[in-house]
Amino acid sequence: NAGVTQTPKFQVLKTGQSMTLQCAQDMNHNSMYWYRQDPGMGLRLIYYSASEGTTDKGEVPNGYNVSRLNKREFSLRLESAAPSQTSVYFCASSPGGAGTYEQYFGPGTRLTVT
Amino acid sequence: DQQVKQNSPSLSVQEGRISILNCDYTNSMFDYFLWYKKYPAEGPTFLISISSIKDKNEDGRFTVFLNKSAKHLSLHIVPSQPGDSAVYFCAASTLSSKLTFGTGTRLQVTL
């Protein structure tokens, strides 16, 4: 099992450009999450999908959109990138449902916006 | 406001000694707590967790202690090994299963 995979690993964008970060999991998990990690800020939740067909905003959703394409895939889109979106982005998944808290993380995408 | 706080950005411990990483929280609705370990250029990996109905959970060299009245948890690593050098994040959850993370503590285990 590959677990949680993310593409690309690195990306450089110019201000105003758009891109989509891809995430897939092969653990048959119901819930998926997108986080960003910035120095001194820990991991902050951008969006999550508790189950296929549903998405909800997290702590820092502005400037992002998500799509839960199917049970396996959860993508994050930046429509018009800004330098403040320079960060490391992590996708995670969890079984979902009552009493399941542990999340499994992908290796991350390092994004730089110039 | 930061609901989960790790006030020590870094910690250096000699190999073989005990490492103690601390975490404080403010939200009394948190009912489950986790520790994650993160190496550079990798995603966080789950280490150990504890439910609010317990005050201690042990897994090999790792023990997590929870003091609900003080809203404080700690991770003990005994004995510390060089491979334990990483950034450690504590995280907390309510019934929603969403996690709120602390800012992390960088542990360096020296020879």
Cα A38 to the center of its chain, rounded Å: 14
Q: CA angle, corner B78, sides to B27 and B74, nearest 5?
A: 10
Judged by a CB distance cut-off of 8 A, whether residue B103 touches chain A is yes
Whole-angstrom distance, CA of residue A89 vs CA of residue A73:
15
B52 and B30 Cβ atoms separated by less than 8 Å: yes
Does A104 sit within 8 Å of B32, measured CB to CB?
no
Chain A residue at shortest CA distance from B106: A40
Of A98, A100, A105, the CB nearest to B44: A105
Nearest Cα of chain B lies from the Cα of A60 at a distance, in angstroms, of 12
pLDDT in tens, B53-102: 999 999 999 999 999 999 999 999 999 999 999 999 999 998 777 899 99
pLDDT of residue A99: 72
Mean pLDDT value across chain A:
94
**Cα dihedral sign for B55, B8, B34, B26?**
positive
Selected residue of B97, B101, B106 to mutate for chain A interface (largest A Cβ count, 10 A): B97
